[in-house]
Structure 1
Amino acid sequence: MRIIQRLYGIYQKDGPEFVISLYKELLLREPNAIEIKHYQNLIMSGHSKISIINSVLQSNECVQHYNHPPAILARQNQTIAGILRTFFQANEILFVQSLYRELLYREPDHGGLYGFVITLKKQGNRITVLGDILTSEECISLLSSPHPPWKVDFENIVSCIIPSFNQVDLVKQCAATLKATTTKTSYEIIVVDDGSAMHIQQQLLEWGSKENIKVILKTQNGGFSSTVNQGIRQARGKHIALVNNDIIFHQPEWLEKMISTIQSSLDIGVVGARLLYPNQTIQHGGMSAELYHRYVGLHADYAPALAIDDVHAVTGALILIKQDAIADLGLFSEDFFTGFEDVEYCFRARLKGWRVVYCGPAAAIHLEGQTRGGHKKIKFYRMKDFEARKQFDLKWRGYYHILKS
């Protein structure tokens, strides 16, 4: 849950309940009778709730909380102070991006982002930026709205999103095997084409119309993150399954096994599966602390690979995510064209207290890279992979020692 959602719950309360909730979330303690009386008097004398929230947030007591080094907290123990503590350790750009996501429930526009970044580099006062965004008309409007954007009634289905570029046959094969192996769970299939040639997009549209599959067409090739984000924005389900178009489903009830895993605990936000090469050896079994794929090359039925366990990250080739986690974390970072966007998302999830879990009982065959032309990647994709690794290292260097533990 983002800060704005937590503040929304507090903002709707009145009297002592408002003050008590504010203290618990921001100061991690109960207010005493004098403090409750003080803030009640302020409200009665005309002070707004947002001014009181801002006052508590910028108090010395609260500042002490979020100026401590970041820590991974259990989701049920996450507080506004704990979330801010994480962001206050980030660089200027990530700090401003995070505040926009947490307080305005959106990504920053170019002007807003760099306007605040320049202010920070000149003055270095993060508390002032926090206060400016918190007391903005946009933030106050969200807190006052009877229908804020996060209050969406998602359907009890799984939205299976298949990103694609310059492929038709692979998409058809993926969708056909998905349908054949998923009989006990309601789902929708959304294919998002990432700016393919017109004749390919036309073929996908015609096929989608016949198969009752939603096809979204992009005009430009923007990469994996921007493509799946388009699908997520139009998804109706309480769970999102990202499925590479070079996945072949050969195991019945793979989706039911992943759903069972993600629903087994409220703090599980992301679930990955066991991916196999066509020769029935393991390609992916979750990622280790060093971000290597576990069990690579071992037989598909290697016993440890059949377990369900917490991991550092899972591949986005086949991944299940709760909408609650997406509401909390936001969409995939479009800083990555292709490569490491899945690992980065898992890191963001774990940093905010969500568990990332590998579901060994659920398996599928992954042709790995066929959507980009097989293992003989063209120079463009090699360059993008290199850029993604560099971007990932720069962004997460300061947190990796925490997440590695």
Structure 2
Amino acid sequence: MSLPCGAAYATSYSYLDISQTYYDTDYVSGTIPLPTYPSETLTDSYDSKQVISTGEAKYSMGRTYESATSSVSYNNYPVLVPGGGAVGISVGPGHSATFGYGYVDAAHRIMRQSASVISNGAQFSESWTRGDMQNSFTVLPGTSGLAYGDTAKIRLDVRLDGRLTATGTSWPGNGDAFSHLLAGLTIVDPLLKIDTGEGWYTPRIVSFGADADLEAGEVYQPYWGESYSSYWSASWGAYTNTGIDMSGDYDDYYETTDNNREVTNSYNFDTGLLQLEFDAIVGHTLDLRAYMDVFSFASGNATALTDFSSTFGPGIIDTNGTGVLIDWDVVAPQQVPGTVPEPSTFLLLGAGLAGVFCYRKKAKKS
């Protein structure tokens, strides 16, 4: 079997979408002082103000960045101190502040996202960022001795680090907070198609997924004591065409702290270096697509944080050291200090996959 050497085509795509909404119950005039950089990659933008009632307005903004050749980024995020507090941020009664951060680099295969909300009596505030990236790579014989058309065993290394924090308070009013993560990664071979009898489809070769939710709210302090409710869940899973289970280690923990005026729920996890072995045909060009959604919501007296700004991107390697080469179609011309993943790490992401491990918990105290 004779197949062309090198990539059949080249594609690199970085996409970042940001949406932020907050209520201001003191003023009905003004603008949203949010940055719009990098301007050269801004493809869509909007700002809006809706007067709800006298003395109350709803502000919304959206930014869409897209680049076929370089990275895209957005940053309207305060410096955080341990525990999730923001340096130099003061939100007056009836106000809220929302922040978002996103970075996507398809050439380096890196994705980072973060969203937070601080509400001081505002009725509804949210921050949402989504990143997508796409690239392709070709499996070449190298010094392996394999021929075009042979099957090579390849490994995807995945790592995901992040945290979710939600705080609801009972003074000076009740508050609800919610944090959410949804991420996914899929690799397919466009030359492999299956006839279902009702049409053709391209099956995934390997995929990884993660999702997490965290909530804190219904906090109040009646004369007879304190009451609150909380909820959290998290899972991640994987699929490979070899049927081999995902290997590696992970570290995660859930924590609840409460006093007579507030409850804080936090969930931190580090998947460690997870390894997924899969089969690929030498000479074929494989498509890699990945995405990440982070969302934070707060109402009343509450704060929410979904921070995955330290997440790294993918590493595809020859699992047996046989000399097979991985030729990425689009590689950045130079490494950017502080943004390059370790050679063996790869950005995680995914949803709707079989869970390898899953945790769920509900709590209510009165």
Q: TM-score over 0.5 for the alignment?
A: no
Q: Give the TM-score normalised by structure 2.
A: 0.25
Q: Which has the higher helix share?
A: 1
More strand by share: 2
